[in-house]
Amino acid sequence: MCSISRRWTCVAIPVQFLYVRLSGKHDLMPKFDRESIMMLAFPACADLGATALMSVGLLYVPVSTFQLVRCTIIVFVAALKMLFLKFQPTAYMKCGIALNATAILMVSASCFGEEHESASALVGVSVLLLGCLVTSSQYVLEETVMRKKDGTPPMMVIGLEGLWGTFLMLTVVFPIAYLVPGADNGSAEDFFDSCLMIYHSSTVRNMCTFYILCVTSFNIASIFVTFLLDSVWRSILANFRPVSVWSMDLALFYFFTSGSLGEAWTNWSWLQLAGMLLLFFGTAVYNGTVQLRWFDYDGDGTTNMQGVANASTPLSVELTKSPLYGTAAIAATRAAEESKALQSL
C-alpha cells in the first residue's frame, strides 16, 4: 500500500499546468527534455528500493525506532552532496550534522535495551540504514535535477517520479510479486485480490484514500523543501517526524487505549528524550540560530564559505537563520543588490 500510494504523486503534473495557466506565469511552463525525464527514473527507482527496505526493516523493530533510525538520512545526504555536488559545509554545519548523528545513535540504541527486541534489532536497524542510504541518493538526485539551468519545476519532478513509479510497479513489481510463490492465494502478493478487498470494503477504501492523500501531500511538501532550500534541509526537517510518532505512541498508551496500544514509558525512554533534545540543538547549530564560540562566524552571523541553499551563495543573517528563505529569496536579494549597483553608476 505504501508503494502504490507514492505513485499517485503523478497528479502533480496537471496541477503544475493548471497553476501556470491560471497565474499567467508562462515562464514556469515545464520544459520536457529527454535528459531530465530519463534522469528522474533513477530517484523513482531509489524510492521503490527504499520503500521495500524500510518495509522489511519495520518487521523487526517498533514503529518509533523505525522513524528514529530514518533520521540517519541527514548524514548520508551530507556525505553524498560532498562527494557528488561539491557541497562544502562550514565548520558549524559539520558540527550540527555530527550532533544530529549522535542524537540518532542515542535514540536508536534504546531498541537494544529490551531483551525481547535485541535479537532482531540488529537485523532491522541494518536494513533500515541501507534503506536510508538509498533514500539519501533519491534526495540528492532530485536536487540535481532542480538545480540545473532551466531546471525542472518541483511539481513536475514529483509528478514524473510518480509516473515512473507507476510504470515500474505495474510492469515489474506487481508481476514478480504475483508469480513468486507465497501464502496470499499461492502468490507472494495477490494484486487482484487486494483490488477486490478495496472495492468491496468501504472502510478499507476510505482508509486507503485518506492515506494516499496524506502521502501525496507530504511528498509534494518535501520536494518544495528541496527546491527552496536543499536536500540537507529536507533530511533535517524529516528528523522531527519521530517526535510526533513517539508522542502519539505515548498518548495512545496512557490516554486513549489504556495500555492496549501504543508505547509505554521505560527507563530507556529517558535516552530517547535526551536524543530528541540533542536533535533540536543540532538542527539549531546547523542553521546558525545557535552560534558556538568555537567556530568562526562573521560579525553579522554569516560565514565566508557557504549558505544553506546553494554551495557557493553567501547568505545574509536573515537567510541563514531562517529555513523559510531559500533560492527564490536569494535571487530576489541579488537582483536588488544589482539594481542598486547599476543606479549608483
DSSP 269: H
Give the CA angle between residues 26, 30, 36 to the nearest 5°. Answer: 155
Residue with cell 530514518: 70
List of residues 6+ apart from 142 with CB closer than 8 A: 43, 157, 161, 223, 226, 231
Query: For the chain, where are the alpha helices, taking DSSP H only?
Result: 2-7, 12-23, 34-39, 41-58, 63-69, 73-84, 91-109, 115-147, 154-168, 174-179, 191-200, 202-228, 231-238, 241-251, 269-287, 317-321, 327-344
pLDDT tens for the chain, residues 1 to 345: 444 445 555 555 565 556 556 666 555 555 656 777 788 888 888 988 998 898 888 888 877 778 777 777 877 888 888 888 888 888 888 898 888 888 878 877 776 665 455 667 778 888 988 998 998 998 888 878 777 655 667 777 777 888 888 888 889 888 998 898 988 888 888 888 988 998 899 999 999 889 888 888 877 787 777 777 766 676 667 667 777 777 888 888 888 888 888 878 888 888 878 887 887 788 778 777 788 888 887 744 444 333 333 333 322 222 233 333 334 444 444 455 555 555 555
Q: Nearest to residue 53, comparing CAs of 125, 121, 138, 150?
A: 125
Q: Is the pTM value of this prediction over 0.75?
A: no
Q: Nearest to residue 262, comparing CAs of 272, 251, 274, 275?
A: 251
List of residues 6+ apart from 336 with CB closer than 8 A: none
Query: Residue-wise over 244-279: b if at least 16 C-beta within 10 A, else e?
Result: ebbeebbebbeeeeeeeebbeeeeebebbeebbebb
Give the C-alpha separation, 156 to 254, whole Å.
Answer: 43
Cell matching residue 54: 524500510
